[in-house]
Structure 1
């Protein structure tokens, strides 16, 4: 399941890059943003697993709150209240304008939430087979062309994709100099 592989990768990145107890503005901003993305991957992994692997129709279109409730009822997550708190914190994070509030959120991520994420990963490791995510490739020719022309990479990729009637992903990975 690609979603699970992305979830594991995002978790490992946070754990690897976080400096525990560093509450400088840069780390607080980076870790809280990364955690918000991790939370998204967590609930969407639960959603996909319950729909595709357990055949739960209610998981197909459920909101994060509904998915967390279903996951708790299925025994996928143990403490539904903490997961709902994570959801609330994730939602509130977009509106945090004071460093002092963000510091508390980062502290909670380090001391509580990452442990719950690890529990979820461990649960899924037992029920979802490993899949290797292909590392993203970017055409060296495309990068060079972007620099030479002074055109942003995304703009050049979109233009080339339209010209060749292929996906932007294909251009980013396979574009060659004419």
Structure 2
């Protein structure tokens, strides 16, 4: 017997945990140490990775067919489908994730952390709420 649960719901569980850990790291009352900032960047990178892959799985479950599966193409299709509203923030977050994979500049870390706080975290929250609502509609409680 095959599991009828769509793949996106399993991936969503991992996304929820990653998003929660990222949000928790940013809710510190005190300034972050350099090591903590590096940890925030790491959490951001894997939250972004899980976000676009969860979006891909969700879109595929809705019968969206991709010509090419790339993070940018998935984000574009999610925006076109109305799943995400902050398309520019998502594209910027993707660019930041890509930059962070190749940059070890403390100033860049601080700039990206400020951007995470200013817009990327809200974009991740928007996706979280959308998918949580879809999961509840499907009868699978959180």
Give the TM-score normalised by the residue count of structure 2.
Answer: 0.84
What 5-or-longer segments of structure 2 have no aligned partner? 1-8
Report what 1:2 is aligned to.
Answer: 10
| 1:1-150 to 2 correspondences below 5 Å | 1-18=9-26, 19=28, 22-52=31-61, 54-58=62-66, 62-129=69-136, 130=140
Unpaired runs of 5+ residues, structure 1, are 133-178
What is the root-mean-square deviation in Å for CA atoms of aligned residues?
A: 1.8
Given the two structures, how large is their TM-score scaled by the length of structure 1?
A: 0.68
Check whether the contact 1:7–1:42 (CA below 8 A) recurs between aligned residues. yes
In the TM superposition, what whole-angstrom CA distance separates every residue of 1:121-172 from its partner, at most 9, and x where no partner exists? Answer: 001111124467xxxxxxxxxxxxxxxxxxxxxxxxxxxxxxxxxxxxxxxx
SS of the residue aligned with 2:66? helix
1:21–1:107 contact (8 Å) kept in structure 2: no
Bigger relative contact order, structure 1 or 2 (CA pairs below 8 A, ≥6 apart): 2
Q: C-alpha distance in 1, partners of 2:29/2:94?
A: 22
Shift of 1:21: 6.1
Number of equivalent positions: 130
Give 1:160's aligned residue.
none
Where does structure 1 differ by over 6 angstroms across 4 or more consecutive aligned residues?
Answer: none
**CA separation in 1, counterparts of 2:20 and 2:89?**
21
State which structure, 1 or 2, has the greater radius of gyration over its C-alpha atoms. Answer: 1
